[in-house]
Structure 1
Amino acid sequence: MSDWTWDWNPSEGFLTEGLPPGVIAEVERLATELAALGPDSERVGRPFNREGGLREFDFLAGRGFISFLPIPRHECVYICHITWTD
């Protein structure tokens, strides 16, 4: 188990405005799972050919994706963008 956490960047209100509650809950669940991976979260999602930097991960059968930034020195995964298609 990792001591990493996750957070919204820029803010929860900005990123989740207008999203259905179920989508927000799924993003929060995924963020918790990414934080549990700790430093391995730098290898999850796209791009596949390198570690670190801004990453993307599909969710809910490809109906949306999140962009996230794992920062090892903060021990935190930051959710930076949510794309959702109705």
Structure 2
Amino acid sequence: MTDWSWDYNPSAEYITDGLPPEVVAEVERLAAELAVLGHDSVRVGRPFDREGGLRQFDIFGGRGFLSFLPVPRHECVYVCHVTWYG
């Protein structure tokens, strides 16, 4: 267990506006799991060939994806964007 947390960047309203409730719930569940990974979250998702920076992770079997930024010095995973194809 780590002391990492997660948050929306810039805000929950901006990122989740118009998304179905089940998609928001899945994004928040995944964000919480990424925070549990702590520093290892810099290696999760795409791109596969490097660590750090903006990462992407598929949701619902490719029906969308979330972009997140793990920031080790803040000990936080920031959800920056959610794309939902429906």
Q: TM-score surpassing 0.5?
A: yes
Runs of 4+ in 1 over 2 A off after TM superposition: none
Distance apart, 1:84 and its partner CA: 0.2
Number of equivalences:
86
d(CA) in 2 for partners of 1:85 and 1:59?
10
3-state SS of paired residue (2:61):
coil
Which residues in structure 2 correspond to 1:26-65 (within 5 Å)?
Answer: 26-65=26-65
Distance apart, 1:71 and its partner CA: 0.2
Where does structure 1 lack aligned partners over 5 or more consecutive residues? none
Distance apart, 1:51 and its partner CA: 0.2
Distance apart, 1:21 and its partner CA: 0.2
State the match for 1:73 in structure 2: 73
Q: Which amino acid aligns with 2:74?
A: H
Where does structure 2 lack aligned partners over 5 or more consecutive residues? none
3-state SS of paired residue (1:56):
strand
